[in-house]
Amino acid sequence: MDGFDEGFRYEIIEEIGRGGMGVVFRARDRRLGREVALKRLPDHIRNHPKAIELFLREARAAAALNHPNIVTLFDAAQERDTLYITMELLRGSPLQKVLREKGRLSPGTVAKIGGQIAQGLQYAHEQGIVHRDIKTANIFFTDKKVVKIMDFGLAKMVEEVRRSTTVVGGTPYYMAPEQSAGEQVDHRADLYALGVTFFELLTGHVPFSDGDVAFHHRHTPPPHVRDVAPGAPEALAALVEQLLAKRPSQRVRSAGDVVRRLAEIARSAA
């Protein structure tokens, strides 16, 4: 039922989640005796050899990342026709679920959570790795209130599958203008997606959700943060709006700058 042979290294215990990027199981590593989260990627990926190559290369590079705000990736491999990754097993919920339950978060909470996300991105960017798919569904909030970024190394594989088919996989609610246009992207695409994420946490919704969302991200000015979240401090609203600049050169320069500005906002609010 889980798609793995009886002699597979990992003993599948139970399913704990599923989404567009596959099914996640709680599993036990028979060799090391530890529990892990195992994500089995969608079956259709096997029809795209270049996507498989990208997945294995990018995920193994991501496994070298070692930071408290990034989910630790243990392994990325192919078992017969099944692609999978194993990572640290977390207790808590994706930020998307937290937001769905609460509606929106207070500016102070957004600054604290945002600072942790930005610290994880700063570290990854310093290692030359761009996430390319930052969104609330890919950010985990543990029961110890630690924020961890998930799914480093998977976005390039998804983009390759989309390029080789005529199907666009989902509406790009968080996608930077240059990314949705198919242009080369760098760390500033992550910063744009971070801005969308902050906007969503403050207001309860993404800046654009109707019509041609990719067109809006490229051409339509986003709503002013304080128009939809009047309680947001001016400095926080200004940071979000700068992250959402259409031109990469007009955004905040780095995730490190986001960390510093959020720290200043937190100090001024104390």
Can you give the CATH number for the domain in which 257 is found? 1.10.510.10
Average the pLDDT over 216-243 and give the result.
97
Q: Can you give the pLDDT at residue 231? A: 93
Residue 5 resides in a domain: no
Q: Are residues 116 and 226 in the same domain?
A: yes
Q: Are residues 98 and 199 in the same domain?
A: yes
Q: Are residues 47 and 125 in the same domain?
A: no
Chain segment 176-223, per-residue pLDDT in tens: 999 988 898 999 999 999 999 999 999 999 999 999 999 999 999 999
136 or 22, greater pLDDT = 136
Q: Are residues 117 and 235 in the same domain?
A: yes
Q: Are residues 55 and 109 in the same domain?
A: no
Residue 110 pLDDT greater than 70, yes or no? yes
End residue of a domain, out of 37, 66, 87:
87
Q: Which residues are known catalytic residues? A: 133
CA 156 – CA 177 distance, rounded (Å): 17
Q: Can you give the pLDDT at residue 2? A: 62
CB atoms within 10 A of CB 232: 24
129: domain range? 92-269
Q: Are residues 100 and 66 in the same domain?
A: no
CA 177 – CA 75 distance, rounded (Å): 32
Chain centroid, CA 259 distance in Å: 17
Residue 2 resides in a domain: no
CA 63 – CA 199 distance, rounded (Å): 29
Residue 98 resides in a domain: yes
Helix 187-203 and helix 234-243, axial crossing angle in degrees, nearest 10: 140
Q: Are residues 43 and 143 in the same domain?
A: no
Chain segment 3-19, per-residue pLDDT in tens: 677 789 999 999 998 87
Residue 141 resides in a domain: yes
- Phi (first) and psi of residue 170, to 5 degrees: 100, 160
Residue 65 pLDDT greater than 70, yes or no? yes
SS3 at position 214: helix
Q: Can you give the pLDDT at residue 154? A: 81
Residue 166 pLDDT greater than 50, yes or no? no
- Both tokens of 3, joined, read 């798609």
Q: In what order do the strands lie in the sheet with 35-40?
A: 10-19, 22-29, 35-40, 82-87, 73-79
End residue of a domain, out of 87, 107, 127:
87
Q: Exposure of 14 by Cβ count < 10 A (0-12 exposed, 13-18 middle, 19+ buried)?
A: exposed
Flag the least confident range among 4-8, 60-64, 246-250: 4-8
CB 22 within 8 A of CB 40: yes
Q: Are residues 105 and 238 in the same domain?
A: yes
Q: Which residues contact 175 (CB under 8 A, 6 or more apart)?
A: 189, 192, 193, 214, 217
Q: Can you give the pLDDT at residue 142? A: 97
Residue 127 pLDDT greater than 60, yes or no? yes
Residue 162 pLDDT greater than 70, yes or no? no
Bridging pattern class, strands 82-87 and 35-40? antiparallel
Q: Are residues 158 and 265 in the same domain?
A: yes
Residue 118 pLDDT greater than 90, yes or no? yes
Closest CA to 168 of 220, 212, 222: 212
Q: What is the mean pLDDT of the chain?
A: 91
Can you give the CATH number for the domain in which 74 is found? 3.30.200.20
Q: Are residues 112 and 230 in the same domain?
A: yes
270 or 199, greater pLDDT = 199
CA 236 – CA 27 distance, rounded (Å): 41
Residue 39 pLDDT greater than 90, yes or no? yes
- Phi (first) and psi of residue 225, to 5 degrees: -55, -45
Residue 169 pLDDT greater than 80, yes or no? no
70 DSSP 8-state letter = B
Average the pLDDT over 83-100 and give the result.
95
User: Based on the structure, what is the number of domains in the chain?
Assistant: 2
Q: How confident is the model at residue 43 (pLDDT cuts 50, 70, 90)?
A: confident
Q: Are residues 107 and 140 in the same domain?
A: yes
Q: How confident is the model at residue 61 (pLDDT cuts 50, 70, 90)?
A: confident
Chain segment 137-148, per-residue pLDDT in tens: 999 999 999 999
Residue 157 resides in a domain: yes
CA 92 – CA 89 distance, rounded (Å): 10
End residue of a domain, out of 46, 67, 87:
87
SS3 at position 25: strand
